[in-house]
Structure formats: structure tokens, C-alpha cells
């Protein structure tokens, strides 16, 4: 499956939720980078890390929820037809897995953003 088809085949409502939480994580990551340049902002860095962590958590929860809804949707139509060809079963399951895979990848990206730039850099003193 090409990457463009992979992106466009996901469930749109979950993609919008993922974009909202990723935007929140990137915003707090940028704020964390700005706070890193000041000596007394360790609490602020921890605050931004907690917000990034919350966004990652909700991305993961949304991924699991989309997986369950995708399977319910696929099995509903399988049961409604009274049996179906195995190729169609596998195609339905593969489409049900698209959004959770994207969510787990975004979860990992958010965890990386949380772990980067946690050390406060000292200001350079001119001699």
C-alpha cells in the first residue's frame, strides 16, 4: 500500500483528533525549547513535558478506540452478509489497522519530543 493511500484511508475523525493532539505536543515542545535557555525554568520544562505526555497518552487511547471501532465495523458487515470471502475479511481488517498504526507512530514521536532537550543550557558569559 503506497504511503499516500495509507494516509488517506484512515478514519478522518481520528486523523483530526491525532492532528489536534500532535499540534498540542509540538506547541509545548517549542515552548520547552524556549524555556530551556533560562536557568530558573526547570519547573516550566517539566510542565511542558507533562503536557506532551498527556497528548501522547490521548493519541494512544484514541488509537485503541479506533482499532476497536474498526473491528466492530468490519465484523458487523461480515455478520450481516452471513459469510464472506477471506480476501474481503483481510482487506477490512487491514483498513481497520491503518488509524491505530498511525496513532502508535505519533505516540512514539510525542515520546521522543518529551525526551529531547530536557537539560537547561547555561548562558554564555562574555569575558
Does residue 120 sit within a domain?
Answer: no
Q: Calculate mean pLDDT across residues 37-50.
A: 83
- Cβ-based neighbour number of residue 117 at 10 Å: 16
Closest CA to 110 of 47, 8, 35, 23: 23
**106 pLDDT more than 90:** yes
Does residue 93 sit within a domain?
Answer: yes
Does residue 86 sit within a domain?
Answer: yes
Number of compact structural domains in the chain: 1
Does residue 82 sit within a domain?
Answer: yes
- pLDDT level of residue 112 (50, 70, 90 thresholds): very high
Are the C-beta atoms of residues 48 and 117 closer than 8 Å to each other?
Answer: no
For position 126, what pLDDT does the model report?
A: 55
Whole-prediction pTM: 0.80
The parent domain of residue 109 ranges over 3-7+9-115
pLDDT in tens, 73-88: 877 877 777 777 777 7
Question: Helix (H, G, I), strand (E, B), or coil: what is residue 63?
Answer: helix
Higher pLDDT, 125 or 117: 117
Measured CA angle at 33 (ends 28, 36), to 5 deg? 120
**62 pLDDT more than 70:** yes
For position 123, what pLDDT does the model report?
A: 60
Does residue 122 sit within a domain?
Answer: no
What's the sign of the alpha-carbon dihedral 64, 69, 73, 76?
Answer: positive
Report the C-alpha gap between 64 and 36 in whole angstroms. Answer: 34
Report the C-alpha gap between 66 and 109 in whole angstroms. Answer: 19
Does residue 42 sit within a domain?
Answer: yes
Are the C-beta atoms of residues 93 and 78 closer than 8 Å to each other?
Answer: no
Return the C-alpha cell found at 25: 505536543
Amino acid at each position: 500500500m503506497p504511503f499516500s493511500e495509507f494516509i488517506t484511508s484512515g478514519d478522518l475523525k481520528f486523523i483530526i483528533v491525532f492532528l489536534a493532539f500532535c499540534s498540542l505536543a509540538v506547541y509545548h515542545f517549542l515552548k520547552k525549547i524556549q524555556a530551556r535557555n533560562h536557568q530558573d525554568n526547570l519547573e516550566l520544562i517539566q510542565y511542558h513535558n507533562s503536557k506532551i505526555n498527556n497528548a501522547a497518552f490521548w493519541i494512544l487511547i484514541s488509537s485503541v478506540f479506533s482499532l476497536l471501532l474498526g473491528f466492530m465495523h468490519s465484523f458487523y458487515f461480515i455478520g450481516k452478509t452471513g459469510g464472506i470471502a477471506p480476501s474481503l475479511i483481510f482487506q477490512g481488517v487491514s483498513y481497520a489497522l491503518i488509524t491505530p498504526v498511525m496513532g502508535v507512530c505519533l505516540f512514539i514521536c510525542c515520546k521522543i519530543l518529551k525526551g529531547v532537550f530536557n537539560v537547561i543550557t547555561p548562558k554564555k558569559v562574555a569575558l
